[in-house]
């Protein structure tokens, strides 16, 4: 007989999920092992069974963040759009739609930690850099195809634009944190979209795609 019970989330994953939420809310340095145990109902013994310490947890949290967000973007509807320019703009539209809700929930774990730890914790800094650059790299094929179609003579590279999108998004999150208002990021992401549109002008005779409303 097959059980229909929902499988429980293992204690390691519970700690990692808690780390994503608490570090984005409190910051890396202010987050304690006690915070993580209290949030999950687990003991310190359970924590140290899975992680050597807080830095080890942070490095695992970066991997967990990359896996979780990577899967979300890989399965997002914009990936099915045939036109690469429209696909890139729809990616930015999705990022704009995501700045809804509580401020800590819309920000990036990697950007949050690297701002705090880039001097004091080089391993965290390097892991965050690799994560940000890795996500940017997923945009490069789309940008390269859009550039070949709409701006083949432009001097900028797909790699530089991909990384710029992440710099602009991280900057928007910083401004939102300073304003204590998630919506402060929205007009900045709109500027990013307009900038990308300008770099990839529609060629004569190209039908203007309808802008999709995020749901």
Contact 211, 197 (CB under 8 A): no
The backbone region for 27, taken as left when phi is positive above 0, alpha when psi lies in -120 to 50, beta otherwise, is left
Q: What predicted TM-score, i.e. pTM, was given to this entire model?
A: 0.88
Q: What confidence score (pLDDT) does residue 4 get?
A: 41
Q: What confidence score (pLDDT) does residue 104 get?
A: 85
Q: State the Cα–Cα distance between residues 11 and 116, nearest whole angstrom.
A: 27
- CA distance from start to end of the chain: 40
Q: Is 39 exposed, middle or buried (0-12, 13-18, 19+ CB in 10 A)?
A: middle
DSSP code, position 101: S
* Cβ atoms within 10 Å, residue 36: 26
pLDDT digits (tens, 9 = 90+) for 178-212: 999 999 999 999 999 999 999 999 876 666 555 55
Annotated domain spans of the chain: 76-199
The answer to whether the Cα torsion of 58, 60, 64, 66 is positive or negative is positive
**Domain 76-199 bears CATH identifier 3.30.1280.10:** no
**Which range is least confidently modeled, 2-16, 28-42, 106-120?**
2-16
């Amino acid at each position: 007989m097959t059980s229909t019970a929902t499988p429980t989330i293992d204690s390691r994953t519970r700690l990692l999920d808690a780390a994503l939420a608490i570090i984005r809310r409190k910051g890396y340095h202010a987050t304690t092992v006690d915070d993580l145990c209290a949030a999950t109902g687990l003991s310190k013994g359970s924590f140290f069974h899975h992680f050597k310490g807080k830095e080890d947890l942070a490095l695992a949290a970066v991997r967990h963040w990359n896996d979780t967000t990577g899967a979300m973007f890989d399965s997002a509807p914009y990936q099915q759009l045939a036109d690469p320019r429209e696909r890139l703009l729809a990616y930015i539209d999705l990022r704009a739609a995501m700045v809804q809700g509580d401020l800590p929930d819309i920000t990036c774990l990697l950007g949050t930690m690297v701002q705090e730890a880039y001097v004091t914790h080089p391993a965290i800094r390097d892991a965050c850099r690799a994560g940000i650059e890795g996500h940017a790299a997923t945009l490069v094929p789309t940008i390269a195809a859009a550039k070949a179609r709409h701006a083949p003579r432009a001097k900028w590279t797909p790699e530089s634009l991909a990384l710029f999108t992440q710099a602009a998004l991280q900057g928007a999150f910083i401004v939102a944190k300073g304003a204590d208002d998630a919506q402060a990021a929205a007009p900045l992401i709109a500027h990013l979209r307009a900038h990308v549109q300008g770099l990839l002008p529609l060629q004569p005779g190209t039908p203007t795609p309808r802008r999709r409303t995020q749901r």
